[in-house]
Chain A
Amino acid sequence: MSTAAPLLDVAGLVVRYGVVTAVRGVDFQVCESEIVSIVGPNGAGKSSLISAIAGIVPPAAGTIAFAGQVLAGIVLEDVVARGLALVPEGRHIFASHTVFENLMLGATVRSDTDGVHADIARLFESFPILRERARQPAGQLSGGEQQQLAIARALLSRPRLLMLDEPSLGLAPAIIEQVYALLRSVREQGVTILLVEQNAERVFGISDRVHVMSGGKFGLSGRAAEIKNDLRFDAAYFGVHMQGAAGNR
C-alpha cells in the first residue's frame, strides 16, 4: 500500500436486512490505480458490501469515504457523480433500449455532450461489437456482449473507481478471459477497480490485493500472490468451521 490517502476508505461497515446481518464490521482501503478483489462463497456478504459502497443499501454502522469525503447521507443517484460507477451482478442492462441508448444512460451525470460522443466513439474502437449493434435492442446481445456493454456504460460516467459485482457470472471461460483483459486495459487508463468474485482463482492474476470474505467478515487479506499460496485460504474462504475442507481453487 502506498502512503498516499486511499481513494476508497471503508471502516467498520455493517449492513443489515431486518434481523439478518450480511456484513459484520469490515475495514479496507483501495488506493488510486489499484485492483482490489473481494472473494468469497455465495452468501458471504460480498454483494451487500459493494451495494452499500454504491449507495444502494444504507449501512447500519461504519463509514465509507471516497476521495477524502464521507459518503453518508447522499442519495443513490448522487454517488455516480462523485466518481464511483457500479457494474451490478446480473449486468442490468436496459433490454428494450438500444445499445446506444444504454451507453447514453451511462453518461447521465455528464453535461458535456461532445465529450460523451467522443468517449462513445473511443469505446466503439475497443468494443467493435457494440458499434455493430448500436441501433439494436440491448436485450438481443449475448451474455458476454451484455457484460461488455455494462462495463462500457459504467465507464461513460468517467469514474475514478469502477466496481464490478461478479462480472464473470454465467459467462463461458473464453468470454471471461476477454472481460478480464478488458479490465486490465481499463486500469491502464488510470481507473481504479474494486472487483467482487466468487471464483477466487480468476482474480489472483489481475489483482494487487485480495480480501477473502466469509460470514460477513474478511478472514484473510493481503497481496494477491501471498493469498494465492496461503495455507489459511480455504479456512478463510469456507469459514473456520470447515477448516481442512477441499478448496475452491
Chain B
Amino acid sequence: MEQLVQSVVDALSVGSLYALTALGIGLIFGVMRLINFAHGELITFAAYTLLALFGLPVPLTLFGAIAVAILLALLTERAAFRPLRNADPTTLLISSFAVSFLLQKLLILVVGSRLKGLDFLPVLGRRIDVLGIRLQLLQIVTIVVSAVLLAGLTWFLQVTRLGLHMRAAAEDFRMARVLGVRANRVIAMAFALSGILAAAVSCLIVVQTGVVQPRMGLQLVVIAFVGTVIGGLGSLTGAALGGFLVGAASILLQALLPPDLRVFREAFVFVAVALILLFRPQGLIPARALKERI
C-alpha cells in the first residue's frame, strides 16, 4: 500500500513537471505556431542563475531565476522570432533549434560542460508523514506549485482582458488584429509566461536532482514536446494533459516493470505515444481549426 501511494505521488510530481514544461511550449505554439525548442534553455539558464546566486537569501535567488528566464524569453522573441513572425512553421522550428544551440554553446563556453552540484533548498529533501505514509516534501511542493501555476494561468486566460486577447489571437490571429488586439503585446506576454513556467520547472528540477548541466533543459523539452503532440498541438489543456501523461507513465513504468526491463522504460513510453498518434493523429484534445485566413 505504502509502495503504491508513493509511486502515485511520484508519478504525480514528475507528471506535473512535464505538464508545466509542455504548457510553456503550448502557449507559444498557440499564438505563434512556433515549436520553441529554445524553451529548454530558459530552464537551463534559470538553473545556472540559481547556481550563480547560491548563498543569497532564497527568495532573492528564486526571483533572480524567474527574472532571467523571463528576460531571456523576451530577448529570444525580440531578436530571433519577431523578424520571422509570418514565416512558415518549419522556418520557425529551425530557428528555434538555432537559438537553442546558440544559447547552449554559449553557456558551455562560459561555464564549461561539466555537471555542477547544487544543494538548493535541501530542506525539501526531508520526508514527512502524511496519514501514516512517508512522503518526500519536495514531491508535495512540486504538486502544489504546479497546481497553483495551472490555476493561475487558467484564471489569467479566462478572466483577464489580456488573457481574452491571447486566446483570440491563438484562434484567429489576423481577425484579432483587425479588432485591435496588439500582436507584439500578446506574443511578448506569451513568452513572459513561458519564462515563468520554465523558471518554476527549473527550480523544482534542481532541488530534485541536485545538479545543473548545460543540456538539462533540452532533455526535459524533448519529452515534454512529445506530451504536447499527443495532447494535441495548439490546445493548452491538451498540452498539460499530454505532458502529465508522458511524465507519469515513465514513473509508473519504472515502478511496475520487472527490474530487468526498467532500463527500457522510455521505449515503452514511446511505444504508447506511437499508438496514441496512430489512433488519434490529431492528439487527445485537438485544437480547433488551426489558423484561417481572412
Contact = CB atoms under 8 A, between A and B. Distances in A.
Interface string B66-105: 0000000000000000000000000000000000000000
A106 interface: yes
A106 B179 contact: yes
Interface in A86-130: 86, 88-90, 92, 94-97, 101, 104-106, 108-109
Nearest to A55: B178
A56 B179 contact: no
Contacts of A92: 172, 174-175, 178, 292, 294
Interface string A218-243: 00000000000000000000000000
Contacts of A89: 294
B265 interface: no
Interface class of chain B by DSSP:
helix
B39 interface: no
Interface in B273-294: 288-289, 292, 294
B177 A94 contact: no
Interface stretch (B110-118, B180-188, B197-205): B180-188
Contacts of B181: 77, 105, 108
B165 interface: yes
B105 to A, nearest CB: 36
A108 B165 CA distance: 8
A5 interface: no
A198 interface: no
A106 B176 CA distance: 9
A95 B171 contact: yes
Q: How large is the interface on A (under 10, 10 to 19, 20 to 34, 35 or more residues)?
A: 20 to 34
A95 B288 contact: yes
Contact of A96 (B161, B176, B288): B288
A36 B235 CA distance: 42
A51 interface: yes
B241 to A, nearest CB: 17
Contact of B178 (A76, A96, A104): A76
Nearest to B171: A94
A191 interface: no
B167 interface: yes
A56 B172 CA distance: 14
B109 to A, nearest CB: 38
A97 B178 contact: no
Contacts of B172: 92, 94
A97 B180 contact: no
Given A92-B172, A96-B288, A109 B294 contact: no
Interface string B156-178: 00000100110110011011111
A35 interface: no
B179 A96 contact: no
Interface in A48-91: 51, 54-56, 76-81, 86, 88-90
A153 interface: yes
A106 B172 CA distance: 14
A148 interface: no
Contacts of A95: 171, 288-289
Interface in B30-50: none
B164 A76 contact: no
A157 interface: yes
Contacts of A153: 179
A94 B168 contact: yes
A105 B164 contact: yes
Nearest to A110: B180
A101 B180 CA distance: 14
Nearest to B167: A97
A88 B179 CA distance: 11
B180 A77 contact: yes
Contacts of B164: 97, 101, 104-105
Contacts of B176: 105
Given A88-B175, A104-B161, 9 more contacts: A76-B183, A80-B180, A88-B294, A95-B171, A105-B164, A105-B176, A105-B181, A108-B165, A153-B179
7 contacts: A56-B178, A76-B183, A77-B177, A92-B178, A94-B167, A96-B288, A101-B168
